[in-house]
Amino acid sequence: MCGIVGYIGNQQACPILLDGMSKLEYRGYDSAGIAVYDGKRIDIEKCVGRLQALRIKIQGHEPQGTVGIGHTRWATHGRPSDRNAHPHCDESGRFVVVHNGIIENYLELKEYLLEKGHRFSSDTDTEVVAHLMADQYDGDFLSTVKKVIRRIDGSYSLVFLCADEPDKLITTKKDNPLVIGLGEGENFIASDIPAIIGHTRRTYIMSDGEIAIVTKDAVRVEDLNGNPINKKVYNVTWNAEAAEKGGFEHFMLKEIYEQPKAVRETMRGRLGKEEGTIDFPELNWTKADLRGIKKVFIVACGTAYHAGLVGKYYLEKFARIPVETDIASEFRYRDPLVDSSCLMIVISQSGETSDTLAALREAKRLGARTMAVTNVVGSSIAREADQVVYTYAGPEIAVASTKAYTTQLIVMLMLGIYVGRLRGELSDELARTLTRDLREIPEQIHAMLEDTEQIKIFAKRYGSSENAFFLGRSLDYFVALEGALKLKEISYIHAEAYAAGELKHGTLALVVEGLPVIVLATQADVYPKTISNLKEVKAREAEVIAIALQGDREIDKVADHVIYVPKTDKFLAPILAVLPLQLLAYYAALTRGCDVDKPRNLAKSVTVE
């Protein structure tokens, strides 16, 4: 997510803005910029790269003035570049804006503005807002902001600066964080508390639909119709480091709890208005495009590979297209049978994993069409794939991937529906069921995250174990693989996932008394067999934690413990069933005193073979 800062007061704004932006660097960004009113005009300075590049660029001619806005950009629309960096302005330079989020209807607004003669200097959705300010300007800054807000759809935190009324900043939000820091003779705006905690701990936490008019001596908050809103002052008690984690103890836990929003943002604009339809404007495939595709390869590493296994299931089930999955480091060396009749889908959170990038290049060399599913705009994999579908999980800082995984599943499910409909293989009825249940997922994740006491107890009880098994069949097996990876990579417990049907072929020999075995049992078509596998390990005195759908009346008769996930269509169960496994890994690692965010020997992005 982007970082936003604003300042209005008696001090020079530039150093305060840069300092605030540096406190938001942890969120991940690819470019940065500031805009300061210097008494006559608004001086905008911005560039691609780190904050240091911006400091070097303005050295010796720092913008002078006591009101300004700043931004660290995490690209969503438009590659990382100087021209796409924020702040953005209209052609006159009188209206300047910084933005965090996605303007969903920016293309239609851009068309409207282009027809009215506006000329754009960037590829971003945000620049449309600045031009719309100029287009709608009626001589009053606040009323113009309100007119603009009424025209935009999507998710946003916005801060506006207007050269005609430089004694105020105006800010608003929808589905994105925004706080106001209350100073003495000065006030601060930020997308996140770390940026202002060094100046004041007295804040307003803004809510959707609220508009704040911020001068150096006052902050007035009202709604879109001008009705005043009395905000309660929220005193921040966190220290700076905790503030970066939004009050969570670790980035991993913060990112687990960001999953409702990450999933919502990833679905935004892609769930068609008609139930059962999916839109991928960035793909715009037709039946003809797919006619030439005889086989799909899904290639990735680690957690992304586990998402790929689920993706294979979706594409084969809904689109009836053959899919091969490979671990990237294996794909490259097995002389794969790839040609121009193949589509290669690579999945990568970072978009920089060298094995995955190399597999992508190999597939291209062999003539395949390529598509990337990645979380980082402008990453190497995003740039080299023929087409890209982004997950909008926001920066993932913890080494253990959580929100990236669930958003990858969401993308693969939507892709399965999209391709299945295009190929005429997916029934309207099932498509409608899937998209209807998809809409419920963010709220269901939120509800699950509200009650984690049972998982904390299991983590304490089994945290001292040196081994653990994860079992499942079909989609449950793929989630078991992900659950085992989570547990082993941050708690160092030797956790292995097996296809439950494999037990008798050897692994049952490892089952001993007291061994914790997590059994996923969400898939109705293989449920009876999963139950019999569960009984096999129970017969060897293992301790079984089952993951089952709410309403399952059988499982608690055979398992020692059951964690229920909300009822959803079995195809969507992986998206929910992984949550208790993420939390189990997290709390087990805590129990063992492990470094949750930076586990030993591991890096967030494996950019070497």
Residue of 2, 14, 89, 342 marked catalytic: 2
**Taking CB under 6 A as the rule, does residue 301 contact ligand AGP?**
yes
Alpha-carbon distances, residue 576 vs 162, 461, 567 (angstroms): 45, 23, 9
- Taking CB under 6 A as the rule, does residue 102 contact ligand AGP? no
* Identity of the residue, 304 or 417, whose beta carbon is nearer to ligand AGP in the bound complex: 304
Q: Is residue 549 at the binding interface for ligand AGP, with CB under 6 A as the rule?
A: no
Q: Which is nearer to ligand AGP, 327 or 447 (CB)?
A: 327
User: Please, which residue, 259 or 349, has the CB nearer to ligand AGP?
Assistant: 349
- Can residue 302 be called a binding residue for ligand AGP (CB under 6 A)? yes
- Give the integer Cα–Cα distance in Å for 607 and 354: 5
Nearer to ligand AGP, 301 or 594 (CB): 301
User: Contact 292/478 with Cβ under 8 angstroms?
Assistant: no
Q: And the tokens for 397?
A: 């800082």
**Under the criterion CB under 6 A, does residue 267 sit at the interface with ligand AGP?**
no
| Residue 582 makes contact with ligand AGP by CB under 6 A | no
Contact 86, 34 (CB under 8 A): no
**Site membership for ligand AGP, residue 399 (CB under 6 A):** yes
Q: Put the strands of the sheet holding 169-174 in their side by side order.
A: 88-89, 95-103, 154-162, 169-174, 211-214, 219-222
Among 303, 325, 452, 465, binds ligand AGP (CB under 6 A): 303
Tell me which residues in 225-254 interact with ligand AGP (CB under 6 A): none
Query: Would you say 62 and 13 are in contact if contact means Cβ atoms under 8 Å apart?
Result: no
Q: How far apart are CA 581 and CA 483, in angstroms?
A: 5
Residue 342 annotated as catalytic = no
Could you tell me the two tokens for 332? 């490259």
Specify the residue, 22 or 348, whose C-beta has the smaller distance to ligand AGP: 348
Q: Which two tokens stand for residue 62?
A: 């720092």
Stretch that binds ligand AGP, among 122-130, 244-252, 302-310, 533-541 (CB under 6 A): 302-310
Identity of the residue, 304 or 431, whose beta carbon is nearer to ligand AGP in the bound complex: 304
How distant is the alpha carbon of residue 520 from its chain centre?
Answer: 25
- Chain-centroid distance of CA 575 in Å reads 14
What DSSP character marks residue 554?
S
304 near ligand AGP, judged by CB under 6 A? yes
Around 516, how many Cα atoms within 13 Å sit in the side-chain half-sphere? 24
The token pair at 572 is 């969507």
Q: Smallest distance, Å, CB 27 to ligand AGP?
A: 17
- Residues 477-496 binding ligand AGP (CB under 6 A) are 485, 489
Quote the least distance from Cβ 400 to ligand AGP, whole Å: 4
Binding mask 335-374 for ligand AGP (x = CB under 6 A): -------------xxx--x--x------------------
CA distances from 170 to 21, 68, 136, 148, 219 (A): 19, 11, 16, 12, 10
- CB atoms under 10 Å from CB of 239, counted, come to 9
What is the helix (H) or strand (E) element at residue 103, kind and residue range? strand 95-103
Angle between helices 403-422 and 573-591 (to 10 degrees): 170
The SS3 assignment for 234 reads strand
| β-bridge mates for residue 71, sequence order | 4, 33
CB 300 within 8 A of CB 356: yes
Give residue for tokens 């009113």. 37
Nearer to ligand AGP, 373 or 562 (CB): 373
Candidates 14-22, 245-253, 396-404, 567-575; binding stretch for ligand AGP (CB under 6 A): 396-404
**CB nearer to ligand AGP: pick between 401 and 452:** 401
The minimum distance between CB 605 and ligand AGP, in angstroms, equals 5
Does 401 help bind ligand AGP (rule: CB under 6 A)? yes
Question: Of the ranges 141-149, 240-248, 301-309, 425-433, which one interacts with ligand AGP (CB under 6 A)?
Answer: 301-309
**594: annotated active-site residue:** no
What minimum distance in Å lies between the beta carbon of 444 and ligand AGP? 22
Closest approach, Cβ 261 to ligand AGP, in A, equals 19
Q: Is 400 in the site for ligand AGP (CB under 6 A)?
A: yes
Residues that bind ligand AGP (CB under 6 A): 301-304, 348-350, 353, 356, 399-401, 485, 489, 605-606
Q: Indicate which residues carry an active-site annotation.
A: 2, 604
